[in-house]
Structure 1
Amino acid sequence: MACSAHVPVVAQPKLQPHSPSPFKSLSRPPLFVHSQLPHLWDNPRAASLRLRAPHASRSRRVVALAKPEPLRVMISGAPASGKGTQCELITEKYGLVHIAAGDLLRAEVAAGTENGRRAKEFMEKGQLVPNEIVVMMVKERLLQPDSLENGWLLDGYPRSSSQGIALREYGIQPDLFILLEVPEEILVERVVGRRLDPVTGKIYHLKYSPPETEEIAARLTQRFDDTEEKVKLRLRTHHQNVEAVLSMYEDITIKACNIISRSIEMLKGVGLSISLVNGDASKWDVFKQIDNALTELIEQRKAIPGTLVA
C-alpha cells in the first residue's frame, strides 16, 4: 500500500504494558503518507471522514482503517494430530474460509470444472493428479471473493517445496504457518485404536471412546491401513513432506523436539511466521495456543491512523 508534501502524522497511541509477545520482532505498519491516501479513499476497508471548519477554506480528512487485512493461515499436522478439530475451532472463531486440497479436488471433479475435468482424466487411470492442476485449483480458490474478504485457512497444503514455490510465484504467502507437533507414540496409539461401526458409520477408539455395548463392539472393524506398521510409514512420509516445505524458507530454523511444554515458539523469516504448537494436550489447550498467536498477529497488524490537512 504504498507513493510530496509534508504531512503531519498522528503520534502512535501509548500502549498498556503487557506480557512479552511472540510477535515482538514484527515491525509495526508504517503511518500513512500523502501518496497513500488517494488509494485509501477507494478502499472499502477504509473509513473516511471529511470535516470542514465554518470559517476556514481548508478541509481536513481523517483516515482510519476499519479493520485489518484478513488472515492468511496455513496449518500442518500428522494423521491423528487433531488438525481437523483445530481447523473447525479456528474457522468458527475467525470466520476464515477452510480450504483442504483433497476436498477441493473432489468438489472440482464433481462440479465438472475445467480443472476438475483435467484431474478426472488422471484419477480414472489410477494416476496421481499433477501438481500444476492441484496448485491451480488451490490458487483459484484462494483468490475467490470470500477468501479475499474473510481470509483463509489452508489445510495440509502445500505438501512439497515445489508446491510452496508455485504458490509463492502466484503471490500467495501465508501470514502464519501452524505446525501441530505430537509425539509419534501418541499418534500411533490414536490411529491403531480407531474402529468403525459399519452400521452407523460412527468412529470409536478402544481406549478414548469405547463402544457403548458389547453388541456394537462385536461388529466394529479396523481400516486396513490403521496398523502400526502402516501408520509409521505414513508418519515418515508426513515428516519428510513437512521438512521439504519448511526447508524452502532459508532463514527459518525449526526445533521440532523443543515443544515438551505447552508453549509457542515463534520463528520469523522471509515474511513468514511459524508457530510450533504442542498437539499432545487437550483440544482446548492446543486451540488456546493457536488463538493467542492469531490474536497477537491481528493486534500487531492493526493499522495506525493518520491525518492529512488539505
Structure 2
Amino acid sequence: MASLALSSVTATKATQPGCSPALTTSQRYPLRTVSIAYSVEASRTSLQRQNNHGHRFSSRLLWKPLAVAEKSSTVVSEMNTDEPLKVMISGAPASGKGTQCELIKKKYGLVHIAAGDLLRAEIAAGTEKGKRAKEYMEKGMLVPDEIVVMMVKERLLQADAQEKGWLLDGYPRSFSQAKALEDLGIRPDIFILLDVSEESLVERVVGRRLDPVTGKIYHLKYSPPENEEIAARLTQRFDDTEEKVKLRLQTHNQNVEAVLSIYEDITVRVDGNISKEIVFAEVDKALASVIEKKSKTSSAAMAAGLAT
C-alpha cells in the first residue's frame, strides 16, 4: 500500500506545470532494472529502510521492477515444461532389447510400446483394425504397414505417453514404416541400436527355451532353469534353430540399415556383446546426454522468452 501511495504522489507531481514527464525505469536505470527485478522482497526492504531513516523515496524505481518481476515469473511458469523423452530401440533377435527396455522403463518411467503387443491387444479387443490384422495373420501374411502404423500413432498420442514420454520397442522395422512415422510427425530424440555379433546371436537364440506354464524365457547356458521339474517342461520355438535364425538375422540386417538412413543423425550404437549391466550403463549415458541437450534447449527458449 505504501508503494502505491508513493507512486500516486510522484505521478501527480510529474504532471504539474513545469515538471518533466516521468521516465520509465528502463530509461532511468537501464542496467539496474534487471538486477533488482529478481527480488520483490528486496525492493520492499529497501523502501522500509528509506522510510525508517526519514528519507524521501521515489517509488517509480520500486513499482516498475515489481511489474517486471511479475511478468518474468509468468514467463517462467509458462515455459518451464520440459518435453518428455522419446526413444526408439532396435536390435536383432536375442540382442537384449527386452532386458534393456525393462531397465530403461524402470529408471526413466517411459511408456513401453511394442507393435506386436498392440496387434495382439487390438485383436483381443475385436476392434476394426484388429479384425483386419487377424485376417492377414491367419493367411500367413504380414499385416500391412498402414494398419500397424496407425496403431502405433494412436498409442503414442495417448495421454500417458505424451506426459511421461515413450519407448518404442523394435519398431519401425522397415524403411516404409519409418517413413510413415516421419510423415505423421513422429520422430524420436534418440534411436538406440544394440550391436551384437552373429555368432553370439545364434548362440543366444539356439539356447533359448520357454516355460509354457509361466511364460518365462530361459537359456540353457546363460539362464538355466531353477530345477529339474522346470527343465523337463521347457520347449523350444520352432524358429529358434541355427538355420532359421540366420535367415531372420539376414532380413533384420537388411531392414535396419534402411531404417538407419532416416535416423542416422540421432542413432547411438551400443555394443550388445557385453553384460547387460555394462550395456545399460552405455544406454543410460546416451539418454542422459539427450536429456541434458533438451534441458539446454528449453533454457535457451526460456531466456529468449524473457528477453522479449
Secondary structure of residue in 2 paired with 1:195: strand
Task: State whether structure 2 residue 245 is matched by structure 1 residue 231.
Answer: yes
Give distance in 2, aligned partners of 1:91 and 1:198: 26
Residue 99 of structure 2 corresponds to which residue in structure 1?
Answer: 85
Aligned match for 2:259, one of 236, 240, 245: 245
Structure 1 residue 284: Cα displacement: 1.1
Task: State whether structure 2 residue 286 is matched by structure 1 residue 293.
Answer: yes
Give distance in 2, aligned partners of 1:97 and 1:236: 30
Residues 153-302 of structure 1: matches in 2 within 5 Å?
153-198=167-212, 201-214=215-228, 216-248=230-262, 252=264, 269=265, 273-302=266-295
> Which is higher, the Rg of structure 1 or of structure 2?
2
Secondary structure of residue in 2 paired with 1:301: helix
Structure 1 residue 82: Cα displacement: 0.7
Residues 123-138 of structure 1: matches in 2 within 5 Å?
123-138=137-152
**CA distances 1:105-155 after superposition (whole Å, capped 9, x unpaired):** 111222233322332333344432211011111111111111111111111
Give distance in 2, aligned partners of 1:225 and 1:231: 7
Give distance in 1, aligned partners of 2:149 and 2:97: 21
CA gap of 1:289–1:108, structure 2 versus 1, over 3 A, is: same
Give distance in 2, aligned partners of 1:123 and 1:199: 25
CA contact (8 A) 1:87 1:98 kept: yes
**CA distances 1:286-309 after superposition (whole Å, capped 9, x unpaired):** 111111111111111112243748
Give distance in 1, aligned partners of 2:188 and 2:92: 20
Residue 54 of structure 2 corresponds to which residue in structure 1?
Answer: none
Aligned match for 1:143, one of 140, 151, 157: 157
Give distance in 2, aligned partners of 1:71 and 1:192: 35
| TM-score of the pair, normalised by structure 1 | 0.71
Question: Letter of the aligned partner of 2:200 in structure 1?
Answer: I
Structure 1 residue 204: Cα displacement: 2.7
Unaligned 5+ segments in structure 2 are 1-25, 31-37, 45-58
Structure 1 residue 283: Cα displacement: 1.0
Instruction: Say which structure is richer in strand.
Output: 1
CA contact (8 A) 2:174 2:258 kept: yes
CA contact (8 A) 1:68 1:298 kept: no
CA contact (8 A) 2:191 2:267 kept: yes
CA RMSD, aligned part only?
2.7
Secondary structure of residue in 1 paired with 2:267: strand
Question: Letter of the aligned partner of 1:146 in structure 2?
Answer: D
More deviation, 91-100/57-66: 57-66
CA contact (8 A) 2:260 2:267 kept: no
Instruction: Say which structure is richer in helix.
Output: 2
**CA distances 1:192-251 after superposition (whole Å, capped 9, x unpaired):** 1122344554433221223444555444432221111111111111111101111235xx
Question: Letter of the aligned partner of 2:90 in structure 1?
Answer: S
Give distance in 2, aligned partners of 1:215 and 1:150: 41
Give distance in 2, aligned partners of 1:213 and 1:186: 26
| TM-score of the pair, normalised by structure 2 | 0.71
More deviation, 116-125/147-156: 116-125
Question: Letter of the aligned partner of 1:183 in structure 2?
Answer: S
Question: Letter of the aligned partner of 2:245 in structure 1?
Answer: V
Residue 69 of structure 1 corresponds to which residue in structure 2?
Answer: 83
Give distance in 2, aligned partners of 1:98 and 1:216: 29
Give distance in 1, aligned partners of 2:106 and 2:261: 31
The alignment-based identity, stated in percent, is: 69
CA gap of 1:292–1:231, structure 2 versus 1, over 3 A, is: same
Aligned match for 1:152, one of 151, 156, 166: 166
Unaligned 5+ segments in structure 1 are 1-5, 9-48, 253-268
Secondary structure of residue in 1 paired with 2:262: coil
Number of equivalent positions: 243
